[in-house]
A and B are shown apart, each in its own frame.
Chain A
Amino acid sequence: MPEMRHLLSTKDLSRESAIHLLDIAEDMADVQNREVKKLPTLRGKTVVNLFFEDSTRTRISFEAAAKRLSADVINFSAKGSSVSKGESLKDTAQTLQAMGADGVVIRHQASGAPFTLATSGWIDAGVINAGDGMHEHPTQALLDAFTMRRRLHGAASRGKALDGVAVTIVGDILHSRVARSNVWLLDTLGAEVTLVAPPTLVPVDTTTWPVTIGYDLDAAIDEGVPDVLMMLRIQGERMHAAFFPSEREYARTWGLDDERLARLAGDTIVMHPGPMNRGLEISAAAADSPRSTVREQVANGVSVRMAALYLLLAGEES
């Protein structure tokens, strides 16, 4: 297995590496069922959660993952810090370097910032992209794939990919790093991906994307018969930039409401990366139904992030 130096995108992740990471995550998940959940693997290592954008959910998931591997965790929130006073990414990176950070988990509003951090030579630490602008959110896609694999294969998940699994992703594709990371990873793992969105919320040129694109959610549900229906969070303020006329029209046309929920095939699962807008892109009944994997996704997120931290930072010892 090639050593993993950074985790910046799923686009450059090989099928072999992706399955390996998911398998390690299975091991980590097993540990979570023990009475003592903590492993000594990253004792003495320092992981910095460098968050330029508020995201409590992702940050605490990484924090839990690092702590369960016995790493020391420093949370660096750009809000209220020197960063908000104009300190550059470069100076922040060099500060972390001087403090001896072994791993940096970065969330940034600018697409490519984790790539810049990892390749600029400012810092030696391994870099995990925890979401950059509209670009990628690789650990989200990995935890989604992990969740799908577990629902499909249960205890026999290890070593498996997602060949032939029909995944339909619905919502704001244009602005979504979750959608991008999922598209690349799911394709790598052999799934068949369909995107459903208002035409305004799809990138203008998707000829290089390994997906089918549609605008009709009802057709996608009735004719496509997806194994997985993934609803993306829609930001209400998008309507002010004329992406769609109103929240009501969006919910009626592209939301998973109770009526559409009732028409889903027997074993279709419903996913959402959170946080959810109940009543907008997903109804309360859909979010809380047995089909929903929303809470599993949160739990699996810790296991997948443990696996990522392990692969990046435990290299020398293993």
Chain B
Amino acid sequence: MGSYLIEGATLPDGERADLLIEDGVIVELGNDVTETDAEVIDADGLIALPGLVDLHTHLREPGYEQSETVLTGTRAAAAGGYTAVFAMANTSPVSDTAGVVEQVLSLGEAAGYATVRPIGAVTVGLKGERLAELGAMAASRAQVRVFSDDGFCVADPLLMRRALEYMKAFGGVIAQHAQEPRLTQGAQMNEGALSGELGLAGWPAVAEESVIARDVLLAEHVGSRLHVCHVSTAGSVEVIRWAKSRGIDVTAEVTPHHLLLTEDLVRGYDARYKVNPPLRTREDVEALREALVDGTIDIVATDHAPHPVEAKDTEWDVAANGMVGLESALSVVHAALVADGRLDWADVARVMSAKPAEIGSLGGYADGLVVGAPANVTLYDPGASRSFSTADLAGKGVNSPYLGLELPGRVVHTFHAGRRTVADGAVLELAEVAGA
């Protein structure tokens, strides 16, 4: 494993510093650090962020390797400045047993581009009927602490209550995909004036808000911890704000696309904009931004959802839900909230690294870039600008809603546990990463 001297980087707090990385650890941090054996990286003008952590990634393996694999998904992660991803459980077979989550863990270790923490399914086969072996997954080598049926809601209130309670045995958290299934049968887009005009079945905000309201009350009742996936409406923000004011142990995430894009994009029936929960209104986007700024929403999570071309190159109704997001997330957060000064880079480090790691019980990220911490570092050029294109995508999926859009910033270098995964904006080859 090489040693690197990052010279003249700007830390999240605005201070300028050199960082010396040796044996996977940040060993020195300060001005005028010298180390003759280390490879010197000129970071003048670059922001040094702690490696980003994504609590909501679809790596698709096992089972859907035509969409993404652990290897290609973590390449996409590295390209976006991520050093750890939590892999959602909707694989085939579903990640609902110790065997499957250990397999996903092993695939991540073999790749080396990012730490892969498997998420376990809450219910067997994501069917919402009976609990999966949560304890076995928690006790497995994968040490699962986040459980989710994402893609589906744990709709049965009794099952949700039990799952929340059961988490207390090992300090886990249920990450709920809040979507009342009966209110969203056949739903295709946000329900409102536009869905009425376009003749697409509506996905009403209340279908998300009512489940969140129920779940925060359940979490309060049983004294458990709840995490809410991909919050998408202004009403959900209000519910979560109320729950936090009551002291309920709830955290929440918002996706980059819900921070930037609105339902108006659906007008052309381009299935790249089909996602679940759907793109909402300008008012919702503004409420989500405010919530991330004031802490009502804790983190940004990508919901990176790669699909093969044929799943999107089709009529709207049959197209798959989801967008790739790892490669663009930092630039989108930059555009949505850093550009106008509502978040600074220390805030970005919090909502995209320290806090998601904390929610997911992932060690090594709590203190950010400090001496002794694992060397998970992202060097970001905030002055860059690019027309986002497929050349910026490093996974298998090209279903990005940002193609052709002008986005600020660029990830220049990424270090995962002291290994370089991205150099000068290019993802390194597997041999250079895994063998480094």
With beta carbons under 8 angstroms apart, the residue of B199, B202, B268 that contacts A119 is: B268
- A-side contacts of B204, CB under 8 Å: 204
- A-side contacts of B198, CB under 8 Å: 111-112, 135
Which residues in chain B, 65-120, are within 8 Å of chain A measured between CB atoms?
none
For the complex, give the distance between the alpha carbons of A180 and B193 in Å.
Answer: 13
Shortest C-beta distance, B311 to chain A (Å), equals: 10
The interface stretch among A158-166, A206-214, A252-260 is: A206-214
* A116, B315: Cβ atoms closer than 8 Å: yes
A88 contacts partner chain B, Cβ-Cβ < 8 Å: yes
- A-side contacts of B201, CB under 8 Å: 134
With beta carbons under 8 angstroms apart, the residue of A116, A180, A207 that contacts B199 is: A180
Given A135-B198, A135-B199, A208 and B318 contact (CB-CB distance below 8 Å): no
Task: Count A-side interface residues using an 8 Å CB cutoff.
Answer: 29
* B316, A116: Cβ atoms closer than 8 Å: yes
Given A89-B315, A110-B317, A116-B316, A209 and B268 contact (CB-CB distance below 8 Å): no
Please name the residue on chain B nearest to A108 by beta carbon.
B315
Shortest C-beta distance, B409 to chain A (Å), equals: 32
- The contact size tier of chain B is 20 to 34
A205 contacts partner chain B, Cβ-Cβ < 8 Å: yes
A26 contacts partner chain B, Cβ-Cβ < 8 Å: no
Shortest C-beta distance, B100 to chain A (Å), equals: 29
A109 contacts partner chain B, Cβ-Cβ < 8 Å: yes
Please name the residue on chain A nearest to B309 by beta carbon.
A90
With beta carbons under 8 angstroms apart, the residue of B191, B197, B269 that contacts A204 is: B191
- A-side contacts of B313, CB under 8 Å: 88, 90, 120
Which residues in chain A, 62-88, are within 8 Å of chain B measured between CB atoms?
88
- Selected A-B contacts with CB under 8 Å, 27 pairs: A88-B313, A89-B315, A90-B313, A90-B314, A108-B315, A109-B317, A110-B315, A110-B316, A110-B317, A110-B318, A111-B198, A111-B200, A111-B269, A113-B269, A116-B314, A133-B199, A133-B200, A133-B317, A134-B200, A135-B199, A180-B197, A180-B199, A203-B193, A203-B202, A204-B196, A205-B191, A209-B197
Beyond the given pairs A110-B317, A112-B269, 11 more chain A to chain B contacts, judged by CB atoms under 8 angstroms and listed by A's residue number, are A89-B315, A111-B188, A112-B200, A116-B316, A134-B199, A134-B200, A135-B198, A174-B196, A203-B193, A205-B196, A206-B193
Chain A interface residues (CB < 8 Å from chain B): 11, 88-90, 108-113, 115-116, 119-120, 132-136, 174, 177, 180, 203-209
